Structure 1
Amino acid sequence: MVLARDLDITWGGDPERWRWIDYIESDDEEEIQVAVLLSVCWLEIKGKFPTIGLAPGTVYEVVFKVMMLDSSFGWSFPVKISATLPNGKKEEHEEFIERYRKNEWVDIPICEFTMSQENVGEVAFSMDEHDGGKWKHGMAVMGVSFCPKK
């Protein structure tokens, strides 16, 4: 998993825009930091992940792990989700994240790919929304997960 602290979050260091909180994942009881969106009109979250350690021939599902809070607002516009694989293939789609359950970690799909020789390198991924010009609030970001698809 690429944790929130390892993502490039626009205004992530501005305490008026994002708050960083300690969170204990119940599965392994490891404490991590989660980014909680306070207020932005320009959402941009980017990151990269090296694929060299992934199992050959395995299909991986890549997802943003987020939680929409009860206090969330400003999500009437879709966010753009994109990924670029090491082989140059780009995948892009839009998600209306206001439809996701509140106060529960959910997986927002980014892409799927099969680990192969042509996909050795880095997967670049992003989530952004800045066309609507609306202020957004109330989303927690844990990170991006790369999991074998079942």
Structure 2
Amino acid sequence: MDINQLPAECLSSILAFTSPKDACRSAVASPAFRSAADSDALWITFLPSDYRQIISQASSSSTSSCLNSLSKKALYFRLSDHLLFIGSGNSSFVLEKESGKKCYMIGARDLDIIWGNSPQYWTWKSIPTSRFREVAELQVVWWLEIKGKIEARSLSPKTKYAAYFVFKLVEDRYSRRGFQIRPVSLEVHFEGAEVEEDGRKRVILDPPEGSLVVCEERSDGWMEVEMGEIFNELGDDGTIIFHLKQIDNFISKGGLIVEGIEIRPKYD
């Protein structure tokens, strides 16, 4: 039987077992495959099951209306090629293009930063390289603690995720005191779960020259460090907590600029 004789619905069902990349490649095989590869019936299988709810959270109602008017294929690529700012615009969402997995970034304004609203300790400013309107710049503290959280149901199921702390340090090395010799503690866990000592990472954010560098520079010019990883089984495990702290010494700290915490799939 000539496969091109199959109804477009059957071809779409077949292509749904592939990937977005393979579906696009199949479009050049024949007109029948091209029709199936462009169909809403196919691309709705690649979109997250809660894509309507995600769109409804857009920080701009005009953005939400625009997205709802797109075909499902166009919507998939719009959500994978452009950030969608959600809520009050202090967090963002994007699809991983290859897999359709959900990725989030929680901006500094949506994080719980101890003394974050006290100008003598933290100031809020706009930086051209940031995706968000404001980032938090540390002036001076002795007790540093930053927390974030996300509901497991917001992430893709059966997926291993890693969380990354995204930051900069001010150029003046003296002003970024406290991060050269003392590590920060990083952890990721489900709310209510006990974290063993070996489940915490300890990382120096501003290591001396010649030492092992754990932080990496991103393509957007910011730095990131992995906080930890977690496996999201079915999304019914409650709330995932991200925690950064340096509270075990009396050394003053300053010069840290916080953009947010990014959560994205991790592949071994």
* Interval of TM-score (by shorter of Structure 1 and Structure 2): 0.7 to 0.9
Q: Aligned equivalents of 1:128 and 1:84: distance in 2?
A: 14
Q: Aligned equivalents of 2:166 and 2:248: distance in 1?
A: 23
The answer to whether the 8 Å contact 2:150/2:240 transfers is: yes
1:135 maps to amino acid: S
2:167 maps to amino acid: V
Q: Secondary structure at the match of 1:32?
A: coil
1:131 matches 2:236: no
2:193 is matched with 88
User: Residues 45-124 of structure 1: matches in 2 within 5 Å?
Assistant: 45-71=146-172, 72-75=176-179, 76-85=181-190, 88=193, 90=195, 91-99=199-207, 100=215, 104-117=221-234, 120-124=237-241
Instruction: Point out which structure has higher relative CO (alpha carbons under 8 A, 6+ apart).
Output: 1
2:205 maps to amino acid: I
User: Residues 19-38 of structure 1: matches in 2 within 5 Å?
Assistant: 19-25=123-129, 30-38=131-139
The answer to whether the 8 Å contact 2:216/2:224 transfers is: no
Q: Aligned equivalents of 2:194 and 2:233: distance in 1?
A: 13
Q: Secondary structure at the match of 1:113?
A: strand
- Percent identity over the alignment? 29
Q: Aligned equivalents of 1:89 and 1:119: distance in 2?
A: 18
1:62 maps to amino acid: A
Q: Aligned equivalents of 1:31 and 1:24: distance in 2?
A: 9
Q: Secondary structure at the match of 2:116?
A: coil
Deviations 1:81-118 (A, max 9, x none): 1222258363312111112579x411111111222027
Moved over 6 A (4+): none
Q: Aligned equivalents of 1:86 and 1:56: distance in 2?
A: 18
User: Aligned-pair distance for 1:60?
Assistant: 1.1
1:15 matches 2:123: no
Cα distance change, pair 79–31 in 1 and its aligned pair in 2 (3 A)? closer
The partner residue of 1:44 within 145, 153, 157 is 145
User: Aligned-pair distance for 1:45?
Assistant: 0.8
Higher-helix-fraction structure: 2
TM-score, normalization: structure 1? 0.85
How many residue pairs get aligned? The number is 146
Q: Aligned equivalents of 1:45 and 1:4: distance in 2?
A: 9
TM-score, normalization: structure 2? 0.50
Q: Secondary structure at the match of 1:70?
A: coil
Higher-strand-fraction structure: 1
The answer to whether the 8 Å contact 2:149/2:239 transfers is: yes
Structure 2: unaligned runs, 5 residues or longer? 1-104, 208-214
Structure 1: unaligned runs, 5 residues or longer? none
